[in-house]
Amino acid sequence: MNSSPASDVEQRQRLLDAWVEKRRQIAASEAEAAALLAERMRLLDDDVNDHPHHRDAIHRSMIAEYSAAGRLARGSVEYAFADACLLESEHPAVQKSFRRGDIAAAHVREIVRAGMIVRLAVREGRVDAETLGLYDAAALEVAEHDSPGRTRAMVRQIAASLAGETLVERHRRAQGERTVTVRSIDDGLALLQVVLPEHLAAAILDRLTRLARQVIATRDDQDPVLSSDTLDSGEDAVFLRDLAADDPHRDDPVLDDHHIDHDPHAIFGGDTFTTDPCIEHVPADDRTLDQVRADLLTDLLLASDPSSATGTGLDGIQAQIQVTIGAATLAGADERPAEFDGFGPLHPDIARDLAARAGGWSRLFLNHTGVVTATDAYSPTEAMRRHLRARDQHCRFPGCRMPAQRCQIDHNHDHARGGPTSNDNLSHLCLGHHTLKHPDIDDRYRWAARQLPGGDIEWTSPLGRRYSDMAPRRVMFV
């Protein structure tokens, strides 16, 4: 006898509740593990005090032992010890949340590392000691309700706002850390790593993605091109009569009548000619998006412009990023950091340089909480798009960080069911999350979304659970 729909829902809810509880227990256990590392560091201090001349050897030995016992890389163990010590000594509120299982280890990592500039500002006396507590409270407000990826972007903004000019100085120093490295990862592959300003890295990935999507969208329209190096080589050599009348290779002196006369497989018929009745077809281009991006990066670096080979107009595709900067900062009246939307603070000099090169900027009006309420555009349709891009920054499904310019604008309440085309019913969703609420999906698996006052999106899952995605707030740098 088949189970009833109600029992199916109950079973799914039970499994979801059990999974969420297990994840909470895992986070709490990881907090206990971090506390053990902090306790071990206290023993290290005692050992070093007894044998100060062997400080480095004692530390290296401890790291090696934990690395071997835990089957972890040395760098991972070193980071774990450092984070555990900072968590216990500098971030007690974050540690309590971690022990309760309200945040995961990934959240802790982002909070602790982004808080470095706040801790430095406190030590140097540029901000009050209470500032670190304010940072923890603000960071937890984000981390306990959002993914580690989004937490990273927000805590960097919070830390920059609280630390003031430290961020500008830090970005200026970091410019000197630009580098390119390569290391083997076996099987004939290598990892090429480039460290460069974040806005440039994001722009490079965005342009590679746009180029790759163009190649994939048009690759079926391309005619295969036979290399001239293979025209007259191998068992299936191409001869003069194989070529069209206007083919430039017909003038190649290597392709003379001698090759035709000695081709035993030549078959003539009307205006057609082939050297073999078994035609070999060129394999279809079935590369994935990542593979096409990697190939395009190679072409751009080693062979300049790939559009000369593909013929798909790739040279017309430009990268897109979104930056928010205060009017006074843009005019040079102050040096407050700008905001690289979806990533974090941006050096004001870089933002001003981008502004000078941009084809247009939108003036944004914010309320006291930092939410965009309007733009200065006059065209209704374009104004709404500009408003939504500025407000959303990324896909509005909880935890998703797909940039808004690569998302679709969705009617939260379906237009076909009476939903208005207005800013308070529109938001950006990536393709994967947009399809979750598509009307064609069976109601048993379909998600619903509605926009709340202020731009927050409330999602309802097929199980009836509700998840909120808060409208991104802009940190007011003061």
Q: Report how far apart the first and last C-alpha atoms of the chain are (Å, whole number).
A: 66
**How far, in Å, CA of 93 to CA of 80, rounded?**
18
- The rounded distance, in Å, linking the Cα atoms of 354 and 359 is 10
Task: Print pLDDT tens along the chain (478 aa).
Answer: 566 777 888 888 999 999 999 999 999 999 999 999 999 999 888 888 888 787 888 888 888 888 888 888 888 899 999 999 999 999 999 999 999 999 999 999 999 999 998 999 899 888 899 999 999 999 999 999 999 989 998 898 898 888 876 567 767 777 777 888 888 777 777 888 888 888 888 888 888 998 888 888 887 776 655 555 555 555 666 665 666 666 666 665 554 444 444 444 444 444 444 445 455 555 677 888 888 888 888 877 776 555 444 444 555 556 666 787 887 888 788 888 887 776 778 888 888 887 777 766 666 666 666 666 555 543 345 667 888 888 898 999 988 888 888 898 898 888 777 777 778 888 999 988 888 888 877 787 888 899 998 889 999 888 888 888 888 876 554 4
Indicate the DSSP class of residue 394.
B
Do β-strands 267-269 and 272-274 pair in parallel, antiparallel, or remain unpaired?
antiparallel
459 vs 449: CA distance, rounded Å: 4
DSSP assignment letter at 255:
S
| CA distances for 130 relative to 164, 215, 358, angstroms | 15, 54, 40
Half-sphere exposure of 43 (CA within 13 A, CB side): 8
C-alpha 461/C-alpha 447 separation (Å) is 5
Contact indicator for 350, 234 with CB cutoff of 8 Å: no
R_g (Cα) of the chain, nearest Å: 30
Amino acid letter at 47? D
Contacts of 310 (CB under 8 A, 6+ apart): 215, 218, 222
Name the pTM for this structure: 0.62
How many helical (H) and strand (E) elements, i.e. helices and strands, does the chain have? 17, 14
